[in-house]
Structure 1
Amino acid sequence: MKAKKLLALALSCVCALGAFALAGCSGGSNASSDGSGSSTGGAISVISREDGSGTRGAFTELFEIEDADGNDATTTSAVVTNSTSVMMTTVAGDSSSIGYISLGSLNDTVKAVEIDGVAPSADGVKDGSYKVARPFNVVAGQSLSDVAQDFLNFIMSSDGQAVVSEENYVSVADDAQPYTASGKSGKVVVAGSSSVTPVMEKLAEAYQALNPDVNIEVQQSDSSTGVQSAIDGTCDLGMASRELKDSETSQGVKPVVIAMDGIAVVVNNDSAVNGLTSEQVKGIFTGEITDWSNVA
């Protein structure tokens, strides 16, 4: 009788542990760890950016997520978000998700994974060890107002580049000279990329502290809209988080690289995944890999 009770107790413990394991797989996280940070199962929820996003354009190019004709081959099952902040919120709220954001916008609401064994960092972008990187451009039309040119001068000065570095982006002007307040007045409209917007807002704040009679208005949209706005003359400076296309520069606008930025591949904080190869990222975003169990 006593042996039967012990057997029943043992079986109940096994069942409880089995139920706990199943709950863990289907509850807060669709991926579990084997101790090495790899995933052992669960459908992958792919989160991407909208068409026109400079981050999407740079991401698909860097990871070769393209078809034979060079067109974007992101899986049609991807959830599309329209800004960096919405991307982060979406990934933070979906335990099985994977997405990508500007490295400078990374915070503790999501987890950045290593790519080919290298963690994303500003130092890694600068020394070339982290290869998932792209330029931040401002786009100027054929003529700039004196005050818009002065703001651009500030951005490329040692003072402006210090702001770039403080915001976790990579300075592109190590030999830049200090900026002297101009005493100018007026308004400058800067429009475009949601990835460039955060550092542009910090640059505008620092510039206006030195030139209180200038109003810098930063309008967030996407890179393609920012470039087109500069072409159309509806803004003084466009923002683009990618290289400009020949079809854009042929219309008279000129890009100025103000910083370099990494693109961080991010997963939910509860994910067991800590690193991926470039080929795995490509497979996930093209839809060839659809389950975390296929990521070793």
Structure 2
Amino acid sequence: MKFKKIAAVMAAAVMVMSFAAGCGSSDEGNSAGGANISVISREEGSGTRGAFVELFGVEEEVDGEKVDQTTTDATVTNNTSVMLTTVSGDENAIGYVSLGSLNDDVKAVKIDGAEATADNIKNGSYKVSRPFNIVTKDGVSEEAQDFINFILSKQGQEVVAEEGYIPLDTTTEYAASGVSGKVAVSGSSSVSPVMEKLAEAYQALNPDADIQIQTSDSTTGVTDAINGTSDIGMASRELKDSETSQGAVGTVIATDGIAVIVNNANSVDDLTVDQVKGIFTGKTLTWDEVTK
């Protein structure tokens, strides 16, 4: 009798474990199966977020005003590196980054059949692109203007191209001026990586120059330039009327694509603009809705 009780208990335990294992398999699933989509977005004020919601129609007009309709269930990250780390660590995640910031830790999906490459942005097949701007105000210092001259020169644009962005079409040569002094640059975490490379190349030609870069977001970069906190602001979007009315002047230094990224384990390789919009507005909740 005692043996029968023990056997019954063991059988019940096996059934519970089998049920739990079955449930676990269903919940975790495949990231292209029935699992819930983990939406990862950037913070408000991010130029990448501003461009993304506009280009994918996530920003819609409500009562005459444009409103960001990103789902409130989205996890918000405050810079590009955190976005990449978050998506690479979650099989069911989807997010977006600057094309030049892509790495092998995540996978960029095609949009409407076009890969996210500089060549496809140039030929118009990949339409998700935006400008990289530097922002200044009247009274730019001699040191800051010389750095700007380098950025817009043939040598500066070669750096832009080397970093995977689309350069300006220019033949203007830059000659080292021997300028010295500090230039404060602040703003977009998307523009910051290429700006750091530009600063390195510039300082190699002008070793007494001191380019100090503070990474934050586009809105902060524009505000810093307006207030004079920085000599140069960085913005990964177009300037707003409210900013230009305060004297902010934007100058395009490159064109960048926005790559929609998923975890490397995700079997999804191609999404449409409408599918991306559905995911980020919270209308599409699971991966099997995308793969049907």
Structure 2 length-normalised TM: 0.89
1:134-154 Cα shifts (integer Å, max 9, x gaps)? 000000111100110000000
1:30–1:43 CA contact under 8 A, matched in 2: no
Q: Which residue of 2 aligns with 1:56?
A: 49
2:124 aligned partner = 128
- Given candidates 157, 175, 193, the residue that maps to 1:180 is 175
1:284 corresponds to 2:284: no
Work out the CA distance in 2 between the residues paired with 1:157 and 1:65: 36
Within the alignment, does 1:194 sit opposite 2:201 as a pair?
A: no
Structure 1, residues 102-148: CA drift from partner, whole Å, max 9, x if none? 00000000000000000000111122211000000000111100110
SS in 2 for 1:71: strand
Which residue of 92, 95, 111 corresponds with 2:91? Answer: 95
Determine whether 1:215 maps to 2:215: no
Distance 2:276 2:263 in 1: 15
Q: Residue 271 of structure 1 aligns with which residue?
A: 266
Residue identity opposite 2:281 in structure 1: T
In 2, are the aligned partners of 1:42 and 1:292 still within 8 Å (CA)?
yes
User: Residue in 1 aligned with 2:107?
Assistant: 111
User: For residues 273 and 136 of structure 1, what CA distance do their matches in structure 2 show?
Assistant: 29
**Matching residue's letter, 1:230:** A
What runs of 5+ residues in structure 2 fail to find an aligned partner?
1-18
Q: Is the 8 A contact 1:115 1:275 kept in 2?
A: yes
Secondary structure of 2:61's counterpart equals coil
Q: Hey, what's the Cα distance between the residues in 2 that align with 1:68 and 1:260?
A: 26
Q: How many residues get paired?
A: 270
On the 8 A contact 1:137/1:257 being kept in 2, the answer is yes
Q: Secondary structure at the match of 2:76?
A: strand
Whole-angstrom CA distance in 1 between matches of 2:85 and 2:241:
34
Pick the aligned partner of 2:60 from 62, 67, 72.
Answer: 67
How far, CA to CA, are the matches of 2:273 and 2:187 in structure 1? 28
Structure 2 equivalent of residue 236 of structure 1: 231
User: Whole-Å Cα distance in 2 between the matches of residues 202 and 140 of structure 1?
Assistant: 20
Q: Distance in 2 between matches of 1:21 and 1:255?
A: 56
Find the aligned partners of 2:33 and 2:122 in 1 and give their Cα distance: 34
The verdict on how the C-alpha distance between 1:236 and 1:26 changes in structure 2, with shifts beyond 3 A counting, is same
Change (3 A) 1:280 1:181: same
Letter paired with 2:147: F
2:40 to 38, 42, 47: 47
Q: Over aligned residues, Cα RMSD in angstroms?
A: 1.6
Instruction: Give yes or no for the alignment of 1:157 onto 2:140.
Output: no
- Which secondary structure state, in structure 2, belongs to the residue aligned with residue 178 of structure 1? coil
Distance 2:119 2:72 in 1: 34
Deviation at 1:42, TM superposition (A): 1.0
The partner residue of 1:79 within 75, 87, 101 is: 75
State the secondary structure of the residue aligned to 2:147: helix
Q: Distance in 1 between matches of 2:241 and 2:267?
A: 42
Q: Percent identity?
A: 62
Structure 2 counterpart of 1:159, one-letter code: Q
SS of 1:206's equivalent? helix
Q: Is 1:254 paired with 2:257?
A: no
Conserved in 2, the CA contact under 8 Å of 1:191 and 1:219?
yes
**What TM-score, normalized by structure 1, do the two folds share?**
0.88
Give 1:67 shift.
3.2
> Aligned residue for 1:15?
none
Query: For the residues of structure 1 that align with 2:35 and 2:253, how far apart are their CA atoms?
Result: 41
| Superposition deviation, residue 68 in structure 1 | 2.9
1:191 positional shift = 0.2
Change (3 A) 1:105 1:21: farther
SS in 1 for 2:185: strand
Residue 186 (structure 1) shift: 0.3
Instruction: Indicate the SS of the match to 1:295.
Output: helix
**163, 169, 193: which one aligns with 1:167:** 163
Using the alignment, how far apart are the partners of 2:23 and 2:167 within structure 1? 48
Q: Distance in 1 between matches of 2:81 and 2:124?
A: 27
- Aligned residue for 2:60, secondary structure, equals coil
- Alignment partners' CA distance in 2, 1:161 and 1:48: 30
Give distance in 1, aligned partners of 2:140 and 2:26.
57
